Amino acid sequence: MQKIKNIAIIAHVDHGKTTLVDALLRQSGTFNSHEEVKERVMDSNDLERERGITIFSKNASIKYNGYKINIIDTPGHADFGGEVQRILKMVDSVLLLVDAFEGVMPQTKYVLKQALEHGLNPIVVINKIDRPNSDPEEIVNLVFDLFVELGANDVQLEFPVVYTSAKNGYAKKSLKDESDTMKPLFEAILEYVADPSGDIEEDLQMQIMNTEYDEYVGKLGTGRIYNGKISKNEEIVVIKRNGEEKKAKIGRIYTYDGLKRIEVDTAVAGDIVTIAGIDHIDIGETISDKDNVRQLPLIEIDEPTLSMTFMVNSSPFAGRDGKFVTSRNILERLQKEVNHNVSMRLEMTDSPDAFIVKGRGELQLSILLENMRREGFEIAVSRPEVIYKIKDGKKLEPIEFVTIDVSDDFVGTVIEKLGTRKGELISMEKGSDGYTRLEFRAPSRGLIGFSNEFLTETRGTGIMNHTFLEYEEYKGEIVASKKGALIAMESGTTYAYALNNLQPRGILFVEPADEVYEGQIVGEHSKENDLVVNTCKSKKLTNMRAAGSDDNVKLAPAKKFTLELALEYIKDDELVEITPNHLRLRKKILLEQDRKKYRNMMQRSEI
């Protein structure tokens, strides 16, 4: 067998995983001296670069001291936990990256718990030791406490520690050491990461952990060879998730050299490879020898906790921006997504124009929507809803672990606001920098729409992270004190004159010369009821002058929404209309007389 080490890098979002991989790639000689290398080279997706987060797991390979080190960069956000769970089956150890300033965060606990349950022995990497006010030694103590809390065994508790500054490209085994390279981390990987198990002499067994599509060679499947070897043009059997066996032939085989795929004729047990030529292959399925068919254990993925209805855009402006607007286009795109994203589910509805998509959280669903709008889709979506379960006759709901870092001035406000949303304070720790860390257990439904309110109440200074914890008994009704909407009464172009008259009524979402349609939400009412308003009213011009009435109109800036904030903001009877160029909020029922009929009908049915 080759000398191979397979590792994944796991951490909370923004603790420096991708930057660390950059440093390892650069210092291993993977890139030639004349090559220009971008920062965060592993973030290949436009959205990843814009947001500075990893969304999709990536493979890279580094050669060091005669070893081939396969590195997988994993997402740090809880919504993409499905990616992390399946990647852990491909590796023999993990680098647990922890920020020397922020310390242990919710996602750190989540990914570490997964790694320990897989029987992996992590190497702890304390990153950003160059950051002012960091306390690496105290962070190591907190990490040890976390290992104990999660039930680590004696071997796992003896974890090695490496201190790094990935941004500056150096690592140390002790804080007292002098170092200007990543060599101590390379040496720790070779020393502590177990060699891959498996026997090259046995019959072939490989499991697919990731799929993608290439327009030249077709569907690609990436996974680890557990036993035997795989060769180009070899006839094999694909064992589907339901146990069905299908014969197929291997087209091409790729291994990794740095970030590049290199085509090879044969690969052996222990290596991570990508194969082409099998169109019907999906995640979790086994590639087996045709004469000795043996299935590997299926990958268990956490169930989705949120659902959202995707539907055809039915607004008066439908079809203006997008290339893909029909239900067939939308269904094909959603089916493609769930095929390579195992933590998502797709369900049909009674309507041919609406589909239910279930996922791990708002961010995961909003990333899908953002990718779709960039691909040219037009779509309307409902407010996210939590997925309940019934067990032993009791209604259960998803509970999240919430960590909040907030200025001491806003602690009382945050506790009060989350308390009304059924949040339970479990820990409060005052820091030395004027900030306090609060930890809560809160229902997922209580957090929908909270980040908007949280940013407002903390004046943009608070930081909130949350991750799924478990299902618990239903916590009761949450009384939401939400403002009503200002709704356009007619289609047309908005005028500054009309908007100026509406300013006392609430906060506006539109500006002069914006096009609006009847039923579109153009602002937030200052009271709790909805109000139908005329934004297209212009000033009647006369040749008479009136004192004071010809002053310049001064409008407050319109409130603009990101996709995530728009999804959180809408109510149950509202939709977000998403096109390549616009985000609009609207009522599900556009015409006011139809909305009145619906309300009257609902009132009669309640009686």
Q: What are the binding residues?
A: 14-19, 127-130
CA distance 153 to 460: 41
| Torsion angle of the four alpha carbons 110, 111, 112, 118, in this order, in degrees rounded to the nearest 10 | 110
> Which stretches of 54-207 are DSSP H helices?
81-87, 106-117, 136-149, 154-157, 183-192
CA-based radius of gyration for the chain? 27
Strands 531-533 and 485-488: parallel
Q: How many residues appear in the chain?
A: 607
Q: What is the 3-state secondary structure (H, E, C) of 314-339?
A: CCCCCCCCCCECCHHHHHHHHHHHHH
CA distance 241 to 248: 16
Contacts of 417 (CB under 8 A, 6+ apart): 450, 453, 454, 457
Going by the annotation, the residues of the binding site for GTP are: 14-19, 127-130
> Which amino acid is located at 497 in the chain?
Y
For 255, phi and psi rounded to 5 degrees? -115, 180
Q: Which two tokens stand for residue 30?
A: 């993977």
Contact (Cβ atoms closer than 8 angstroms) between residue 541 and residue 497: no
Strands 229-231 and 266-268: antiparallel
Beta bridge partners of 172: 163
459: left (phi over 0), alpha (psi -120 to 50) or beta: left
| Torsion angle of the four alpha carbons 315, 447, 338, 584, in this order, in degrees rounded to the nearest 10 | 20
Burial of 479 (0-12, 13-18, 19+ CB in 10 A): exposed
Helix (H) or strand (E) run with residue 572 in it: none
> Which amino acid is located at 486 in the chain?
L
Count CA atoms closer than 13 A to 294's CA, side-chain side. Answer: 11
- Centroid of chain to Cα 50: 14
Beta bridge partners of 247: 237
Helix (H) or strand (E) run with residue 25 in it: helix 17-27
Closest CA to 56 of 477, 353, 400, 341: 341
Contact (Cβ atoms closer than 8 angstroms) between residue 57 and residue 75: yes
Helix (H) or strand (E) run with residue 94 in it: strand 93-99
Strands 205-214 and 170-172: unpaired
Contact (Cβ atoms closer than 8 angstroms) between residue 62 and residue 260: no
Longest dimension (CA), the chain: 98
Closest CA to 59 of 223, 285, 171, 305: 223
Contacts of 144 (CB under 8 A, 6+ apart): 157
